Structure 1
Amino acid sequence: MMKNVDISRDSFDPANGFSRVIWQQGRVQLDADLNEQASIMLRTLRTMMIDLTGRYGGPFAACGFRVLLTEEDLVEEVVAQDRDEVVVMLRQLERTDLIISKGRYYVDGILCENDRFLHYSQHAGAEHRGRGIEAAGCYLVYLDVWEREVTALDDEAMSEVALGGADTAARMRVVWQVRTATLRERARGFMNMNPPWPELLAGWQNRHRGALRVRAREVDSQSAAGMGEARATYRGPENQLYRIEIHQGGKSGERPRPSFKFSRDNGVVAFRVESLAEDCLTVTLREWARDETMGIAVGQIVELVDEERLLHGGAGALPKVVWVDPASRQIKVDTALRKHASREGEALILRRWDQQPGEPRKGGLELVDGAAQIVEDEWLALEDGIEVMFERSPTHVYRSGDYWLVAARVATGDVIWPQHGGEPAALPPQGVEHHYAPLALVEVGSEGDGVKMILPLTRCFGRHAVDNVPDEVFVFSEHG
């Protein structure tokens, strides 16, 4: 995601075919170079895992994310101490619940690790949290995997106390979530599910999630020549890394209308929340900004982010700041900030966004509840000469959280953006990419019966792999 990460730009592009970054003596070294080297190696390793083991699978001796419902689901490689623990869990298992085994699993080459046997009901989203699967029907249990950034705001241990708590490097974390999808009818196997796997994937992550063009506003050629100006006119006082992020997803023309938000510094202006008043209008921050540029002021737009929203997505409120008191580190907003019930120890973050309303008839932004409305095939003015255009297409389905990064540079008065035929190219979102793998088909009876296994779908590689996995799962592995 790379949000709230203070980088100069993201220079990695797999289409370049670069195999490594080579340091040169006497040259300026940039964060982008180091980050590109890490991205090159990570892509190489993950691609190799896919080529060797398929789109998903785990090692035979430590294959995680198996769905367990009875003692018959236990496999021989479960070691003695784990077997005793799991047998107890299974005997005490509620009829609406299931157990996810510990171990390792690779999804599109991404290593997912589960360090303990867990109850699905304690891990699931709001629909099944604390209750499990109650409604009768047939379900696909699957694994959703993606990456998110972690900074000192999320994990204070990343600050270096020897340097006065200074912020250092950020990290990317693999996040996984076991989810369920309701099927229209009872499935006999993976290949005859209704809806089929490709349809489910398209619903979770449409291939066409919007395309964006970005430019610095062009100046009329005659006036530019008379004033000695270049055509590109980024007028910001500093180099910036703009983040354009989808807020409300959906199709253009539908209700609610899809919208976006932007930050001129990749969402870096964010603060850990110390407390939120009962009316959810006044926020007390853990610390205050070091200067006005990195602070929060009256009239700006903020968003409250918690772990639940990061896991399950969705668009939160974007209220306007109406009062600020640096001495008490408090701000007040005009609309209540609703937060989920975050678990103890999880950070609550307040992030600033920089969109402001303009005159829509002149390309300015139309804000509804703090979010800029997406208008396709029209140039929309962000600020300081930066303009964006969302390309029109009937197949585009915008998804909350998807984003584009745009580097703006004072030296050229322009943005760094690929060109096609002399015009800004229309690019799909840079992320967030989700990766999916089926885990099991289960069923809940209409007579109050508990969850029953239809077919396990986890795939093991290594010793005896072929004997323990249905052939149809290998078909999916080949076609994704």
Structure 2
Amino acid sequence: MKGDFSRIGFDPSKHFSQVLLQQGRVTLDADPNEQGAILLHVIRTLARDLIGPCGGPADNLGFQLALDTTDASHPHLTIGAGRYYVDGILVENDSDCDYAAQPDFTAADDDPLLQRLASQSGEDFWLYLDVWERHVSAIEDDSIREPALGGPDTCSRAQVVWQVRALARDTLLKTLGDERDAAQQKLQDPNLTDDERAVLQARLDQLQQDLNGLSQANGQSGNDCTAGLDALTGLSDAHMVARLDPGQQIKDPCSIAPDALYRGAENQLYRVEIHRGSAAGVSPTFKWSRDNGSVATRWLGTEGNDLLVASSRGFTAGTWVELAADSNDFSGEPGLLVKLVKVDGDRLSVDPASIPADGSIALTASMTHAKVRRWDQAETDDITLDQGAVPLLEASDTQPNWITLEDGIQVQFTAGGSYRSGDYWLIPARVATGSIEWPHTVASSGDVEWQSEPPAGTQHHYAPLGFVGGNSDNRLSVSSSCLCQLRSINSCALANRDVVRPKQAPKPRVRPKSGATKRK
């Protein structure tokens, strides 16, 4: 959530049930935000406990898969309208849609499933529902603004996003097989504890069960609905530590060297976000913002190397900005980082040397809700940026690799992590305490041990939908067998629509007796 927040205060481990406002006190944005988060946590946990991992109402079951053969030479896969719950999250499809043109996902022309549908022969596919939440500001949805007040930028929104995705059976088998082999290799480590060995063995057994459930034997395809879920990652296993530099020294004789203090002049909510993930086959990178990435504006057009924007407030020469659109949000891919050399009115001039050879700052018609977002990383004596982002160096036994952001704040990435573009961590920094809000322990000697934390998001949730492949006659077939239908627990006779009940006559209005006085 890249909003202008003071902090994100909700912590489910504290088991708060309500935020109670007190008279005469200052109200911060974090208070009502936490109240909403508490209520949402309760509702979704309740739905998850009652429904299970996924399910939908039988009378309005959404995301049913069907084959549209109106054009016999080129069938289409349709996704049915209705509701479904995934990990307690309500997911709604307002109307039937084509797999190739979903509300928040447009399949590429070379999409393997589309090619399978066109050829009507080939490998089988497992289809699943991918659900997560995105942050929506007035840049993405202008209706948030109140025109009667001149359209001020007030509250933003969280939006549930869903996409129906497909994985080929052979791809699933390979992914699960690679993970099984990796687990077997780890089991050979003689330094494993009994608990670690038990966890690895359980994981290995589950992966083998998944492979058996998806394997083809005796001409039959294994259609284990849940087997593919183990090939998906809801939240990456990356971990990061934040701390205050204990050895920070200032050479300026007019300044006093701090002892592990936050030296910023303002309260900030730092955001550290993975830019290029490790799945790209190259070293991952990250970007950071002292304002939670909230300084952004609409991108209206391009003239040469100048970006035309709705507002240049918060942008300065020398900073790096990211050019992105809705397509980046929905695909999970980062935007293009370029460096500003001049800010003149509502025109941001880009340094041509910062534009990669394979990049472009042209605004195209396909880039809906295009935006420019400011980030605050910069090159220093210790950091050389990689296409505008900071190279991510993990810690090792011999090299801690602490990376300095600014004002004494440092971060470190734990070894062995897999990084996904969009993973982020939040670090509230406070002037009054001269510290940051980050989990830590203090030893009896006074030494502070800062803890490693998983990303704050983005958390993906998955549910199996069905299979697309060939039947016994080698003709294309679609199955929605993975959907779970729910029947209402209400046994009221109203559920039986064949029962017709006579309408009750309205009760006559009682008039006051003559001479009586009506009570006011």
TM-score range, shorter chain: 0.7 to 0.9
Opposite residue 331 of structure 2, the aligned amino acid is H
Asked if the contact 2:8/2:34 (under 8 Å) is kept, the reply is yes
**2:325 & 2:213 partners in 1: Cα distance?**
38
Asked if the contact 1:213/1:391 (under 8 Å) is kept, the reply is yes
| Shift in alpha-carbon separation, 1:50–1:186, aligned structure 2, 3 A | closer
Instruction: Using the TM superposition, name which of 398-407 and 152-161 deviates more.
Output: 152-161
Asked if the contact 1:96/1:450 (under 8 Å) is kept, the reply is no
**Equivalences for residues 433-452 of structure 1 within 5 A:** 433-443=459-469, 451-452=476-477
- Please list every run of 5 or more consecutive structure 2 residues that lacks an aligned counterpart in the other structure: 117-121, 174-209, 216-221, 396-400, 443-447, 490-520
Q: Larger radius of gyration, structure 1 or 2?
A: 2
What residue is the counterpart of 1:382 in the other structure? 405
Instruction: Using the TM superposition, name which of 129-138 and 172-181 deviates more.
Output: 129-138
**Equivalences for residues 382-401 of structure 1 within 5 A:** 382-393=405-416, 396-401=417-422
TM-score when scaled to structure 2?
0.74
Opposite residue 144 of structure 1, the aligned amino acid is D
Structure 1 vs Structure 2 CA RMSD: 3.2
Deviations 1:242-261 (A, max 9, x none): 1100111117xx94101100
| Shift in alpha-carbon separation, 1:127–1:339, aligned structure 2, 3 A | farther
**2:363 & 2:125 partners in 1: Cα distance?**
26
The question of 1:244 aligning with 2:272 is answered yes
- Cα deviation for residue 309 of structure 1 reads 1.2
What residue is the counterpart of 2:454 in the other structure? 428
What residue is the counterpart of 1:181 in the other structure? 167
- Cα deviation for residue 366 of structure 1 reads 3.1
- Cα deviation for residue 91 of structure 1 reads 3.0
**1:339 & 1:57 partners in 2: Cα distance?**
44
| Shift in alpha-carbon separation, 1:342–1:99, aligned structure 2, 3 A | farther
What residue is the counterpart of 1:310 in the other structure? 329
**Equivalences for residues 160-179 of structure 1 within 5 A:** 160-179=146-165
- Of residues 343, 347, 356, the one that matches 2:378 is 356
The question of 1:459 aligning with 2:484 is answered yes
The question of 1:368 aligning with 2:370 is answered no
SS in 2 for 1:15: helix
- Cα deviation for residue 156 of structure 1 reads 1.3
**2:230 & 2:77 partners in 1: Cα distance?**
27
Asked if the contact 1:305/1:349 (under 8 Å) is kept, the reply is yes
Over the matched positions of the two proteins, sequence identity in percent amounts to 38
**Equivalences for residues 60-99 of structure 1 within 5 A:** 60-69=58-67, 91-92=70-71, 95-99=74-78
- Cα deviation for residue 184 of structure 1 reads 1.4
Asked if the contact 2:113/2:125 (under 8 Å) is kept, the reply is no
TM-score when scaled to structure 1?
0.80
**2:363 & 2:467 partners in 1: Cα distance?**
30
- Cα deviation for residue 414 of structure 1 reads 1.3
- Of residues 435, 438, 446, the one that matches 1:417 is 438
- Of residues 300, 319, 330, the one that matches 1:300 is 319
**2:362 & 2:130 partners in 1: Cα distance?**
23
- Of residues 44, 47, 70, the one that matches 1:46 is 44
Asked if the contact 1:380/1:388 (under 8 Å) is kept, the reply is yes
**2:212 & 2:486 partners in 1: Cα distance?**
21
| Shift in alpha-carbon separation, 1:105–1:428, aligned structure 2, 3 A | same
- Of residues 67, 75, 85, the one that matches 1:106 is 85
- Of residues 191, 208, 233, the one that matches 1:205 is 233
Asked if the contact 1:95/1:450 (under 8 Å) is kept, the reply is no
The question of 1:283 aligning with 2:321 is answered no
Opposite residue 110 of structure 1, the aligned amino acid is I
Opposite residue 153 of structure 1, the aligned amino acid is I
**1:348 & 1:149 partners in 2: Cα distance?**
15
Asked if the contact 2:289/2:375 (under 8 Å) is kept, the reply is yes
Opposite residue 486 of structure 2, the aligned amino acid is F
The question of 1:154 aligning with 2:140 is answered yes
Opposite residue 400 of structure 1, the aligned amino acid is S
Number of aligned residue pairs? 422
Asked if the contact 1:134/1:444 (under 8 Å) is kept, the reply is no
Deviations 1:398-442 (A, max 9, x none): 111010111111112211111135311100000000001111111
SS in 2 for 1:134: helix
- Cα deviation for residue 234 of structure 1 reads 1.6
**1:255 & 1:337 partners in 2: Cα distance?**
22
**2:125 & 2:336 partners in 1: Cα distance?**
32
Asked if the contact 1:219/1:233 (under 8 Å) is kept, the reply is no
Bigger RCO (CA 8 Å, 6+ sep): 1
- Please list every run of 5 or more consecutive structure 1 residues that lacks an aligned counterpart in the other structure: 70-88, 465-480
**1:50 & 1:390 partners in 2: Cα distance?**
33
Deviations 1:66-99 (A, max 9, x none): 0012xxxxxxxxxxxxxxxxxxx65347634201
Deviations 1:384-404 (A, max 9, x none): 1111111123xx211110101
SS in 1 for 2:44: helix
The question of 1:264 aligning with 2:290 is answered yes
- Cα deviation for residue 268 of structure 1 reads 1.3
SS in 2 for 1:458: coil
Deviations 1:28-62 (A, max 9, x none): 22111111111111011001111111111111100
Opposite residue 331 of structure 1, the aligned amino acid is S
| Shift in alpha-carbon separation, 1:105–1:455, aligned structure 2, 3 A | closer
- Cα deviation for residue 207 of structure 1 reads 5.4
| Shift in alpha-carbon separation, 1:434–1:380, aligned structure 2, 3 A | same
**2:75 & 2:140 partners in 1: Cα distance?**
33
Opposite residue 165 of structure 1, the aligned amino acid is G
